[in-house]
Structure 1
Amino acid sequence: MNTNLNKLHTIITGGAGALGSAVVELLIDAGAKCSVPYYNETEEKTFELGNHTNVFTKAGVDLTSEEQTQAFYENAIDQQGPLWASIHIAGGFGMGNIENTPIADFNKQLQLNTATCYNSCRAAVQWMRGSDFEGGRIVNIAARPALEPRQGKGMTAYTVSKAGVAALTESLAAEVIEDDILVNAIAPSIIDTPQNRNSMTNANYEKWPKPHQLAEQILYLVSPENEVTRGGIIPVYGKS
């Protein structure tokens, strides 16, 4: 994809993970300036693009905290300039049938997936409104069970949390369209990452969507070339 994001500032939560790294790499190649919050020191050590001249990072950011999320966005914008796009990959997976999933674990999934997305969307909209760009782009990460809840058997808490991300995306897209902010989400099936391969050793990995394939979809959605797609929860299942 020949996309020009020359000096456009994009925040990528979860940017140090497998999908996030693929997204940051494409953004850098397109000329963007990137900001990536870390939750722990392990991410800081393993994120190979963390020292790139166009990448700002900050460790110890808990995106379930509204205060810390707001502070990171302010810090990133001070460092990298007005915000054009915000991509929300941060989250967590939880397997378990309902009798083995106490309310504490359910609430953890809501915090990891729905609350982090909500806090990030809220901060992004606040900074995009009235910015030099007069608009912006937001992309969230839902999941296949958010669109097909029956696919979420045995992981109901996760399914509900990602359904919340999908609903947030559609609602927010309608709320901010007059500000020229386009909000979308992708809904992957199982992503082909080393972690997923290790946990499902008998699966057919060839059918899973690859991080770089999903990154291409995200890149288009945050690009100025996307002028009309909003409120979409786009299935990215590969052949699975």
Structure 2
Amino acid sequence: MDFSDRHFIITGGAGSLGTAVVQLLLDAGARCSVPCFNKSELDNFDLTDHKNVFTKVDVDLTDEDQAQSFFEDAIDEQGPLWGSIHIAGGFGMGSIQKTSKADFMKQINLNLVTCYNSCRAAVQQFKDQGDGGRIVNIAARPALEPRQGAGMTAYTTSKAGVAALTESLAAEVVEDDILVNAIAPSVIDTSQNRESMPNANFDKWPKPEQLAQQIAYLVSPENKVTRGSVVSVYGKS
């Protein structure tokens, strides 16, 4: 795929999956913009100094105004927006007895509100530009299979919201040539997940680079018909 001179915003772009996505897009000629909640996110992000990467720290995507401002700044720096990929989020375990309303709202804010604010900002930019665009969100296996979410109901609910947002928004903006999709991974093969589940069979987990390939197709100009899909990307797990 050729992404020459196309600009992408990747929330959560400094994380494990985000870095794989940014690297793939850069290798294909894209320009990438990455918002970060704090400066520490950049500590292990080796692409910070790439000539086609714009980063900004202290961006709270749960805040509507800050999300809007980042999208505007990114476009000022990198040009018109072609695709917006929303990876930012967080995971939380815990039975309902141990999950307070505050903990529940934390998952809603981290996963659903950040995605909503980012989708809204992207759609506004796409409509202003008038050339269509692509959005990919990140759901999760429990979003499609809620019974898999025992012991993590807050997280499951937040990701189910991402799936519903994806499907409803896709129907809303299709006439504007904006295609909205999501992927739903199982357990991604990252160092953090390996540390938390040391006895698991890592070979069965989908790799960040594999998921990046799926995302890249969905945000590519070659994708002309897929919209409103929440694609299961479980690997063998």
TM-score interval, normalised by the smaller of the two chains: over 0.9
Runs of 4+ residues over 4 Å off in structure 1: none
1:62 maps to which of 54, 60, 68: 60
2:137 is paired with a residue of what secondary structure? strand
Q: Which amino acid aligns with 2:189?
A: D
1:38 maps to which of 19, 36, 39: 36
Q: Equivalences for 1:6-155 in 2 at 5 Å?
A: 6-131=4-129, 134-155=131-152
After superposition, the CA RMSD in angstroms is 0.6
1:194 maps to which of 167, 173, 191: 191
- Report the Cα distance in structure 1 between the residues aligned to 2:195 and 2:17, rounded to whole angstroms: 16
Q: Which amino acid aligns with 2:157?
A: V
Q: Which amino acid aligns with 1:76?
A: A
- Following superposition, the deviation at residue 199 of structure 1 comes to 0.3
- Report the Cα distance in structure 1 between the residues aligned to 2:73 and 2:225, rounded to whole angstroms: 30
- Report the Cα distance in structure 2 between the residues aligned to 1:223 and 1:155, rounded to whole angstroms: 33
- String of CA shifts for 1:3-42, please: whole Å, max 9, x gaps: 0111100000000000000000000011110000011111
1:164 maps to which of 135, 154, 161: 161
1:195 is paired with a residue of what secondary structure? helix
Residue 226 of structure 1 pairs with residue 223 of structure 2: yes
State the partner residue of 1:178.
175
- Following superposition, the deviation at residue 45 of structure 1 comes to 2.1
- Unaligned stretches of 5+ residues in structure 1: none
Q: Which amino acid aligns with 1:35?
A: S
Q: Which amino acid aligns with 1:221?
A: L
- Report the Cα distance in structure 1 between the residues aligned to 2:57 and 2:45, rounded to whole angstroms: 12
- Unaligned stretches of 5+ residues in structure 2: none
TM-score (normalizing by structure 2):
0.99
% identity of equivalent residues: 72
Q: Which amino acid aligns with 1:54?
A: N
- Following superposition, the deviation at residue 130 of structure 1 comes to 3.4
Number of corresponding residues: 237
- Report the Cα distance in structure 2 between the residues aligned to 1:62 and 1:130, rounded to whole angstroms: 24
Q: Which amino acid aligns with 1:165?
A: V
TM-score (normalizing by structure 1):
0.98
1:146 is paired with a residue of what secondary structure? helix
- Following superposition, the deviation at residue 195 of structure 1 comes to 0.2
